[in-house]
Amino acid sequence: MRQQRRFLQSCRREVVEVGMVAAAAVAIAWKEEMKGAVVVVEGKLLTPMESLTTDSPSVIYKKIPFLVHNGKPISESLVILEYIEDIWKQNPLLPEHPYERAIARFWAKFGDEESSTTNTIGPKKTTMADELKVFRTWSSPFGLRIIWALQLKGLDYETIFEDLSQKSPLLLQYNPTYKKIPVLVHNGKPISESLVILEYIEDTWKQNPLLPEDPYERAMARFWAKFVDDKLLKSVINVLFTKGKEQEEGIPKVMENLKYIEEELKGKKFFGGATIGFTDIALGWTANLLGVIEEVTGIKFIDAQKFPQISEWMHNFCDVPVIKANWPSRDKLVTKYQAHVAPK
Ligand SMILES: N[C@@H](CCC(=O)N[C@@H](CS)C(=O)NCC(=O)O)C(=O)O
């Protein structure tokens, strides 16, 4: 394969290859230039994908851009940007202040998702010191992520339970863009989107880290958390809310996604090693909700034979005191999901 290479100013003589086309490549290329990185494969898709190892996370999406740094592949553009920022400290891409970082991450994520008519993120008024409020519902798996993270960090907070059929003016004020829970309000400043909130918590309170120290492992943690939301969750929701042929056709997709997780968990107690971290928290909902969905749909997703690693992970995850203490009632969840699911 012929690749046209341009050598930019180099600090550490590392090999950075970028597989990319057109617009998708532009953001990465800009950031590479800003950071003065070494080798950029210009404007060309590194085809065939065999140029990546088969266990590379890139093969899940089969998409560009991907970045290969010293032989280690990273995919998903926002994950790559965080990696670039973690590795090369010159010309920072993210602001220093955790709240401004959260806002930058929120809008970057928003830019990747559907557009909205409003473009304000809520008031920035703040008066009291270190006051934490979590807007959530009793059943939301996204809300639970925040509760787990705050408790793992040993932080005190107040919970505001929302009725999503009648959203409070405060929720609409704090998250005018998505109008969704969870929202974390820290000293009057609102942050939404659960993965953005987790990063904010991690940036603000250093104790009991949720992300690994090594930049490549951080990128992998972010990659898998994003995979959980973009792929696994969507495939499960599709099966939950369809029926008949459509539902049957959706099942292999869930299984395929679970297989990726199974592979990734091989030889590990948790994604983060010995203790739970960012990816475990992102995947956490599966440990009780998949069982509930199995009961409601009559479809079996997880068994110990097919997915021994995931089964073991679920067991270990549920055993962590902070996790155990916060599960919503399983019976209540079954009733809730039964009411939502289309009759067969
Ligand atoms: N991507 C969001 C998803 C949050 C979400 O979907 N929240 C649901 C409750 S589980 C919600 O607030 N729904 C209200 C609505 O869609 O109007 C996150 O990670 O925080």
Of the given ranges (18-32, 97-111, 308-322), which has the lowest mean pLDDT? 18-32
Task: Please give the average per-residue pLDDT across 208-235, as a whole number.
Answer: 97
Continuous segment of H or E residues that includes residue 73? strand 72-75
> Looking at ligand 1, which residue's alpha carbon is closest to its atom 16?
180
- How large is the C-alpha radius of gyration of the chain? 21
Give the CA distances from residue 176 to residues 173, 179, 199, in Å, rounded to whole numbers and listed in that order. 6, 5, 20
Q: How many Cβ atoms are within 10 Å of 343's Cβ, its own excluded?
A: 5
Question: 93 CA distance to ligand 1 centroid (A)?
Answer: 28
The predicted structure's pLDDT at residue 8:
36
Question: 165 CA distance to ligand 1 centroid (A)?
Answer: 13
pTM of the model: 0.83
With a Cβ cut-off of 6 Å, ligand 1 is lined by 140, 142, 164, 179-182, 193-195
Pocket test for ligand 1, best of 116, 134, 142 (most atoms within 8 A of CB): 142
Which atom number of ligand 1 is nearest to the Cα of residue 141?
10
**pLDDT tens per residue, range 88-118:** 888 889 999 999 999 999 999 998 875 433 3
Which atom number of ligand 1 is nearest to the Cα of residue 180?
12
**Do residues 192 and 106 make contact, with C-beta atoms less than 8 angstroms apart?**
yes
Q: Which residue has the higher pLDDT, 149 or 25?
A: 149
Q: Residue 162 has which token pair?
A: 């929302």
First-to-final CA distance of the chain: 52
Pocket test for ligand 1, best of 162, 165, 181, 184 (most atoms within 8 A of CB): 181
**pLDDT tens per residue, range 125-138:** 333 468 999 999 99
Is 1 a residue whose pLDDT tops 90? no
Question: 173 CA distance to ligand 1 centroid (A)?
Answer: 15
Residue 129's region, left for phi above 0, alpha for psi from -120 to 50, else beta, is beta
**pLDDT tens per residue, range 53-88:** 555 666 677 777 778 888 888 888 899 899 999 998
